[in-house]
A and B are shown apart, each in its own frame.
Chain A
Amino acid sequence: MAATEELRALYGVATKSWRIFLSYKLWMVSDIMLGFFFVGQALLIGIGLTGQRNSPALQQMTGYSDYLTFAVLGFMVLGFGLTFMSGFVWSVVDELYAGTLEYSFAAPMRRITFFLGNVLVRIFLSFVYMAVYIPLFVLMFGVHIDPVGFFKGIPVLLLGTVGMIGLGMTAAGVVLYLKDPGPFINILEMLVFALSGAMYPIKILPKPLQLLAKAMPYAPTSEAVRKVVAFGYLNSINEITYLVFISTLYALLGYLAYKWSEKQARIVGLKSY
């Protein structure tokens, strides 16, 4: 009975979030355009730096000679991963701005249900975008994606998702606690973007930044997905093992950070803007 009630609440949050998303008519269009700009930019940077789409240096470092395919896979992971960040963080910030968060939090629904409901919508959108991107990228940019390899990458992506949810929960916890979360979100999003390994292999970063990139779940997920897509599971054991470790760590950290922050928010009070 309790599980059914919570599922209905989850459905309620997801429906609400979906309808609000649809009420902003241009969001979906701008989201999809963003993907094309990203890939177009990757193509231009790749050609600008090497004079061609294929790079022997990239081949040596990552196993991918085609920079565009490399970037497209990175973008998929980043785009998917950012859904959790936005699902957790922006759902809190948007509702704090709108003044509606307290009404939702005053209901008996569990607070995690509220976050997951918002995340569900973004996951769904992520899959919709992928379904739009992949055929178009193949047609427009000639991206080479082996369908078997691509589907092999999905379980690894889901494994990385656990860590990304953990990071999202940690960030949501911080946002709930801060008076002005804007600068924090900006810095975090920039960090995630720069250190995700979406556009370049993190091996080219200075050592401290490499460590930082390894300490977040995005780059390890990108690396593991790319390796599994290109070389299969058996040749990617090290990357998968590390991903299991970092995802578990973030899941734990996310749970503890969120619980702590939620308690603090009840002491300090939810902020409104």
Chain B
Amino acid sequence: MYAIEVSELRKSYPKKIPLPFRKVEWIEAVKGISFKVKKGELFGLLGPNGAGKTTTIKILTTLLEPSGGTAKILGFDIRKDAREIRKRINLVAEGERTLYWRLSAYENLKYFARIYYIPKSEENERIEGLLKLVGLWERKDDLVMNYSRGMKQRLAIAKALINDPEVLFLDEPTLGLDVQSAIFVREFIRKLVDEQKKTVLLTTHYMAEAEELCDRIAIIDHGKIIALDTPEGLKKLVKGEDVVEIRVRDFSVQKLKNFPWKLAIVREDVERGITTLRGQITEEDLPKVVELLVKSGARILSVEQKEPTLEDVFIKLTGRTLRD
């Protein structure tokens, strides 16, 4: 049995709230995605903002009803067995304001312990253990509003472990965190899988994070999965092709539209007028690319060959970067 089984999952949202006699247009956010996650696997959904990652997580955590398709968590159907699923899973939602800021860390966990039906006899011990695990025991009585962003996220993770879930959903768990906190969170997530054998599904738009953490990654774009494999497997999609990074000055984005090669803007230094382009270009094509760029009025500053990354896979598949 898989921990998560998703088949042809679809979700449409109305553009406006449906009311009687109002014709409403629907937008399809998730367009028939399918994937399976094994128990004890760390599975990533990688994609840009608006790709359908959060919607997918909300459906799988039973917060949203799918418009079509099926999904099972630990063998339970998301439509029929929502409460059974909720007992066995937990989530860290995107954003900072997911906990009660006017309560202390201890009070927050106490609340969640009760609504997750943790027996009274285990409650205090579990809360203490979790707060120690995320390094917040010393600050347990401080109001959450006085915590830093990183501390809030650590508390959100502790909250997500309150019911000792078999499957954990993490929506952009390091978004907006400082470097140190992000490292802590990443290491913590990896430990949960390696040592506690949890199944984790995480969404991210940070390629390095997906590459570093995930056993397998599904790249999602415009509501569809466009590639699914291990990080190494995905990078093989661009192996054998040369990944080139070109730094240019006075580059016009309009010119890129008529380019015969898939090049994406990966960095823009507006102040200095320097644009960094990246894409898969063969040795034979490289002089033609440079010539076209020069003809378009751009000045070439440097041309560098690079090791392929997941970003290159995304560029190859979509012609865009994850930040676009």
Chain A residues with a Cβ under 8 A of chain B = 5, 8-9, 11-13, 15-16, 19-20, 23-24, 98-100, 102-109, 113-114, 177-179, 263-264, 266-270
**Please, which residues of chain A bring their CB within 8 A of the CB of B97?**
98-100
Q: Does B64 contact A (CB under 8 A)?
A: yes
Q: Which 6 A-B pairs have the closest CB atoms?
A: A12-B114, A99-B97, A109-B115, A5-B117, A108-B86, A107-B115
How far is A107 from B17 in the complex, measured between Cα atoms in Å?
A: 26
Q: Mark B61-94, 1 if CB is under 8 A from A, else 0.
A: 1111101000000000000000100110011010
Q: B120 on the interface (CB 8 Å rule)? A: yes
Would B95 and A100 count as touching, CB distance under 8 A?
Answer: no
**Chain B: minimal CB distance from A12 (Å):** 3
Task: Write out the residue numbers on chain A whose beta carbons fall within 8 Å of the beta carbon of B206.
Answer: none
Q: Which secondary structure dominates where chain A touches chain B?
A: helix
Q: Which of B99-107, B177-185, B233-241, B266-274 contacts A (4 or more CB under 8 A)?
A: B99-107
Asked if B110 CB lies within 8 Å of chain A CBs, one says yes
- Whether A12 contacts B111 in the complex (CB less than 8 A), given A108-B86, A266-B64, comes out as yes
Given contacts A102-B93, A178-B17, contact A107 B103 (CB under 8 A): no
Residues of B within 8 A of A13 (CB): 111, 114-115
Q: Contact check, B65 vs A263: say whether CB atoms are below 8 A apart.
A: yes
Return B259 CB to nearest CB of chain A, in Å: 38
Candidates B58, B86, B96, B110; contact of A12 at CB < 8 Å: B110
State in angstroms the CA–CA spacing of A11 and B111 once bound together. 9
B107 near A8: Cβ-Cβ < 8 Å:
no
- With A98-B101, A100-B99 already in contact, the answer to whether A12 and B115 are too (CB < 8 A) is yes
In the complex the two chains form, what is the Cα distance from A15 to B120 in whole Å?
A: 15
When C-beta atoms are compared, the residue in chain A nearest to B112 turns out to be: A107
Min Cβ gap A53→B in Å is 44
Contacts of B14 on A, CB cut-off 8 Å? 268
Whether B100 pairs with A268 at a CB distance below 8 angstroms is no
Distance in angstroms from A153 CB to nearest chain B CB is: 35
Selected A-B contacts with CB under 8 Å, 19 pairs: A9-B114, A12-B110, A12-B114, A12-B115, A13-B115, A15-B111, A19-B102, A19-B107, A98-B97, A102-B93, A103-B93, A106-B91, A108-B83, A108-B116, A114-B115, A268-B13, A269-B58, A269-B64, A270-B63
Contacts of A5 in B (CB 8 A): 117
Having A15-B110, A109-B117, A269-B64, one finds 11 other A-B pairs with CB under 8 Å, namely A12-B115, A16-B103, A99-B98, A106-B61, A107-B112, A107-B115, A108-B86, A108-B87, A178-B17, A266-B63, A268-B18
Kindly state the separation between the CA atoms of A20 and B111 in the bound complex, as whole angstroms: 12
Residue in A closest to B88 when the chains form the complex, CB atoms:
A108
Best-surrounded residue of B63, B86, B114, B116 (most CB of chain A within 10 A): B114
- Chain A nearest CB, measured from B231 CB (Å): 29
Chain B residue numbers with a CB within 8 Å of A109 are 115-117
> Taking each of A15, A179, A268, which has the highest tally of chain B beta carbons within 10 Å of its own beta carbon?
A268
Kindly provide the distance from the CB of B115 to the nearest chain A CB, expressed in whole angstroms. 4
